[in-house]
Structure 1
């Protein structure tokens, strides 16, 4: 794989749009793992977001070489003891719609009020470099559980995550607004600088 190409280990098109927008400053082609021809069997059995991100990145890197990025992210709800956390994608089963997952979380948190509804999105990004070196960045987006789902622009848990500084849910934010404050946006931005440093040393 050409080192000028960056592979991001996801098949999620919504995520790829965010990734390409933030990493465009690198002037490199950013491919999804499908576009790069990688289809590894990945078992996310890590106990942290960072471990799971690294597992994904390494699995794809073994098939493509070059530079591979992967993220593991999730919603951490304080009144639910940190659930769904690292199990966010698999919460209630991978085939369960987010509409059902979101409503279940709101139902379980129904008795929590005000500050008790605090929650955050966490994102860890792992990058495997051509020589196998692994870099990590991790960021959060703080907020609260909304009272009810709102907005149609996000994906996953975005409709139930209320962002105080914009007085709306993450699913109501524009891509530009979201990239500035989102957990993934901030973690990608931090990783972009690490990759700029890598490319600058070559």
Structure 2
């Protein structure tokens, strides 16, 4: 694979997975009320908490300098506190790869969600939320969404990977979308906070 097109190919390969998650999020109507937003926020917390070990992984930070600083876990935790929401108890470590290149596929999904959050952040203002209260994790990075994303793209495209590694990236991205889709399905059925999930 031409490394310069790695993430473009990954985006194309996961287009339907991405769309299905977007559709399910919108079905939640998260910005119709703060109650609905709180449900969405708890899912975001579960996802970003699950992703935290990947952002802190020493080997990935060597490959992608300052990766740890990209995590939005602290921001989403503060958002939960702003709204008086309890942090959900969801044990998900076994579902997230702790080694291998599939982790970069998971990071692609997480970083991509930050790029795509501009619409969500604007919608959050309609229920009185913003970068200083309740919607910190949806706010743009101080460098700007586009620049922050391009830096990530350049890092990933710059990695010297083999064909098997690229396949693992795709598998990881698909698994990350499936993980969040399962969270949405569980929330819809009212079982997101059950310990039996993890």
Fold match, TM over 0.5?
Answer: no
Identify the structure with the greater strand proportion.
Answer: 1
* TM-score (norm: length of structure 2): 0.32
| Structure with bigger RCO (C-alpha 8 Å, 6+ apart) | 2
Structure number with greater Rg is 1
Q: Tell me the TM-score normalised to structure 1 length.
A: 0.32
